[in-house]
Amino acid sequence: MEWKFVDGIPIYSQIVNELTVRIARHDYLPGEKLPSVRDIAAAACVNPNTVQRALAELERSGLVRTERTNGRFVTEDERALKEIYKGLSSSYIDELVEKLRNIGMSDMEIIEAVTNCVGKEK
């Protein structure tokens, strides 16, 4: 998978976000082993220390666990995984609503637009 970074946001933070999204969309399943720090660093073309920092943050959040000699694994805690999914979806919705309000849409217009989009074939 391709890694794209934007200016103005720390790389480690973007790695945290990208791995979180990949876990939420089930690219990495609960209990699945994550690629090594070196593999992620090579794929993302970043310093391994940056990846290490990102993975440490994911571990602190409870999304990833470390087995000392086996590597890092996605948590199997369903509650934590649901919270991550819920948090991501909420932040995406907040961002969308803010952008639509910035172009002058009312809340009712936003609800109507979203309702019209849901269920449309891609």
pTM, two decimals, is: 0.81
Q: What is the pLDDT of residue 122?
A: 61
For the chain, give the percent of residues with pLDDT over 70: 98
Domain that holds residue 100: 79-117
Domain assignment present for residue 2? The answer is no
Q: Are residues 40 and 64 in the same domain?
A: yes
49: domain CATH number is 1.10.10.10
Q: Are residues 85 and 63 in the same domain?
A: no
Q: Are residues 70 and 47 in the same domain?
A: yes
pLDDT at 1 exceeding the cut of 70:
no
Q: Which residues contact 44 (CB under 8 A, 6 or more apart)?
A: 3, 5, 15, 51
Model confidence over 6-56: pLDDT tens digits? 999 999 999 999 999 999 999 999 999 999 999 999 999 999 999 999 999
pLDDT band at residue 117 using 50, 70 and 90 as cut-offs = confident
Total domain count, the chain: 2
